[in-house]
Structure 1
């Protein structure tokens, strides 16, 4: 079962009436899910969707998002998720670059008219059909409507014809370092990485999974929707994150799984009403980013009392690369991202024990970037190693510790400074809730550190704290207090924005 239609059928057969999705007062069983997917796929085909064409899905987490995505691959097409916060111009760019023939959008999300934005941004020459996610209605564009009644037999034939090596999805990178690039993955890869993650996390049909990670992101789509199909767990999609509603759901629905970016857990720890909520059902929390504050892991274990807190490392181009295992020591979980998952391998482009660029290779590395062989060749070398742009070290057991991004390193007075090290130190300071450090120009030293903090600590206090614990060249020369750090929906700090302030 190495295609998405195959695992969907298997899930329906194995889990039947068991809840697949729960959203408010709506519950969709696995049997209902496959029926809804087949019906939408039938209408896709009737509106002219051909095998191999691309479908853009633009909206927040919802049951309908999952149906639209799964129906796309069931009909033999390729899914192109679009960031729910994108403007019409940004989505039009994805449509034009992928040549998508179908777009499904959540019109009215966050009080905007996505449909009007999209139409104003581009004539969308490749698009034949635009649909509304909330109703899964499809509207054929143009003066002549070429719509027919496709049969379920046609749809099943489409699903049967899907190959494990066909491109299942094109996920665009966050674009924090330039124009987003479309990472292409085959069915075999998307399913394989979801299966590996689920096995390492011990996910089962008894789990109730609060999916805060956006479906348009690999963590929400592959480590959410596809993990659900593989394990039979119940998914609770969250459209917009609200800390009080999240705590209410954990308590009332007895949520067991809560993977997410570090900011999710930081919000939980800081929530005023947390002591009044029963969050004891949580058994597994998986977090990851380029760098996770060590103190955050300690507090998740001690204050949230989550049974298993593990860290992992991944990226759009490989989804999940490393992950801690159940039984790993608290120190391993708190200070590393674990070791390579089955099917993947890692190495550091430096002498043994020294920090260098992380290279990864294996079954789940993307096929390549869409229509960009030069960028693909730059990212993946002749031996198949993906150059991540992250700096890290591997210990004697193969556990990975990410120290920073290559692009974030700056040179102060001839010394390399990795902001993540400074950030880890400052996160242990009382009065600092969140922090990001960037290099800024300096006439004498070339660059010096500037810290942006969320919290009550003063600039003088922050600098004094750093001086006690860090070499002088690592100590920030200036500190700015902000209400919140700019982050993308994956939780990564947008340091380019901070440098430009």
Structure 2
């Protein structure tokens, strides 16, 4: 059914996993569970079990400290947080009843993280449409070299591969040499990985059969380097509210993000007059906050982001989450988080802070509260945060002028 590194798990092995017989999970269909664990087999078995039982799961990045995981679990209205150990969950305030599915987080226009709930039915509809657009053989295996706590790895990498009857290979060791070795061992599998990692792999000049990139629009130099070592380069685009929106079988540029999946209705601009991409799934229209144009053949082209989310190697960082942690420190008076372009990660987390603490002290504090990709890499200690005439802070302006 699937590999985790070089260990093969049959469907029966996952079904019989101890996490599918937890004595505290008496009514899965009415329970919301956040999961923050490093045991990939346990997480995947639990996710598949909750999907089958119509329960609700909230996947959290396994590197989150307990305080950060608990904060997100409480924000999502979870009944339990599984942190490191499925046998000893943390009981939280009971959630409101909701249909089973997947809960993730997406940024709003201010950078605040908002809770996104998707039903398993909507995800199954996405998986069917994704399979229709997938341009390679249905039996093509997938090497998942990205977090399965993220929708790219979980939904597109694992669930979509299982849905089309192929075998996912989930990697826990993400060192470049190991990934390249696995690609050699499985020479007809497609690699799913963050753009920064794929660009790094391209520098080894090893030929790759197929690569799917997602999560951010890559710099042209990255795109060309990846294309030059890949037989089949694919690109996809999506958002937490909808899932995968578009898939491209053979992009000619980084901006060519794909063709809309057949179950979706879209509204956007043209190449000459781009506009925000809006997507209808079911009866709901969702604004993506991304500036797009569509060609006469239906291809979507990306122009720029309209929101302030920070994308670190394909992982979302919400400014308000980082600011909330900083502002809880006794020595911090003000803090504003924004982004700058980074040659290897795409974007990096930057902060202006009014504080009497040292940079080393605040870096240590952040590492205790945040996942590594959320921690600021650029620090500026200022006497006051620059504000616009209306009293608000412009993160976009800070990213350009700081």
Name the TM-score, length of structure 1 as normaliser: 0.57
Which of the residues 249, 258, 271 maps onto 1:338?
258
For 1:181, what is the secondary structure of its paired residue? strand
> C-alpha displacement at 1:80, in angstroms?
0.7
The match for 2:122 is 189
8 Å CA contact 1:290–1:390 kept in 2: the answer is no
Q: 1:15-414, aligned counterparts within 5 Å? A: 19-24=1-6, 26-36=7-17, 40-44=19-23, 47-60=25-38, 62-106=40-84, 132=85, 137-139=86-88, 166-173=99-106, 177-202=110-135, 206-239=139-172, 241-254=174-187, 256-270=189-203, 274-275=204-205, 277=206, 279-280=207-208, 282=209, 284-302=210-228, 304=229, 306-325=230-249, 331=252, 334-348=254-268, 353-363=272-282, 384-407=284-307
- Distance across 2 between alignment mates of 1:141 and 1:95: 10
Question: Do the aligned partners of residues 266 and 67 (structure 1) sit closer, same or farther apart at CA in structure 2, a change above 3 Å counting?
Answer: same
Q: Secondary structure at the match of 2:88?
A: strand
Q: Stretches of 4+ moved more than 6 A in 1?
A: 487-490, 493-497
Counterpart CA distance in 1 for 2:42 and 2:257 is 33
Q: Are 2:292 and 2:302, in contact at CA under 8 Å, matched by a contact in 1?
A: yes
Query: How far is 1:55 from its partner?
Result: 0.8
Report the alpha carbon displacement of residue 60 of structure 1 after superposing the two structures with TM. 4.3
Which of 345, 348, 351 is the equivalent residue of 1:486?
348
Q: How does 1:453-492 map to 2 (within 5 A)?
A: 454=343, 485-486=347-348
1:374-412: CA deviations, max 9, x gaps?
Answer: xxxxxxxxx73211111111111221111101246xxxx
Corresponding residue pairs, total:
326
Map Cα deviations across residues 83-127 of structure 1 (whole Å, 9 max, x no partner).
Answer: 223232221122222332233233xxxxxxxxxxxxxxxxxxxxx
Q: 1:262-297 CA deviation, whole Å, 9 max, x = no partner?
A: 212211122xxx24x5x45x2x32213442334433
Contact map agreement 1:69 1:79 (CA 8 A) in 2: yes
Distance 2:108 2:275 in 1: 23
* Contact kept? 1:356, 1:391, Cα under 8 Å: yes
Residues 72 and 167 of structure 1, relative CA distance in 2, 3 Å threshold: closer
C-alpha separation between the residues in 2 aligned to 1:204 and 1:33?
26
CA distance in 1, matches of 2:185, 2:105: 35
For the 8 Å contact 1:61–1:239, the answer to whether it is kept is no
Partner Cα distance (1:358, 1:193) in 2 = 18
Query: Once the 2 structures are TM-superposed, how far is the Cα of residue 257 of structure 1 from its aligned partner?
Result: 1.0
SS at match of 1:211: strand
Q: Distance in 1 between matches of 2:135 and 2:107?
A: 29
Task: Give the RMSD, CA atoms, in angstroms.
Answer: 3.5
What do residues 108-164 of structure 1 show as CA deviations (whole Å, max 9, x unaligned)? xxxxxxxxxxxxxxxxxxxxxxxx1xxxx513779xxxxxxxxxxxxxxxxxxxxxx
Could you list the runs of 5+ residues in structure 1 that have no partner in the other structure? 1-18, 107-131, 143-164, 364-382, 409-449, 456-482
Within 2, Cα distance between the matches of 1:351 and 1:485?
Answer: 27
Deviation at 1:58, TM superposition (A): 0.7
Distance 1:183 1:199 in 2: 25
| Contact map agreement 1:208 1:256 (CA 8 A) in 2 | yes
- Distance in 1 of aligned mates of 2:224 and 2:263: 29
User: Which sections of structure 2, spanning at least 5 residues, go unmatched?
Assistant: 92-97, 309-338, 350-371, 379-394
Is contact 2:145–2:193 with CA below 8 Å preserved after alignment? yes
- In structure 2, relative to structure 1, the CA distance for the partners of 1:205 and 1:344 (3 Å cut) is closer
Taking the aligned partners of 1:226 and 1:238, their CA distance within structure 2 comes to 15
Partners of 2:105 and 2:342 in 1: CA distance = 30
d(CA) in 1 for partners of 2:256, 2:90? 51
Contact 1:168-1:187 within 8 A present in 2 as well: yes
Contact 2:294 2:300 in 1 (8 A): yes
1:299 and 1:287 map into 2 onto residues whose CA distance is 13
CA contact (8 A) 2:80 2:90 kept: no
**CA–CA distance in structure 2, aligned partners of residues 185 and 141 of structure 1:** 24
Contact conserved, 1:310 with 1:324, CA < 8 A, in 2? yes
- 1:13 aligns with none
Distance 1:346 1:338, change over 3 A: same
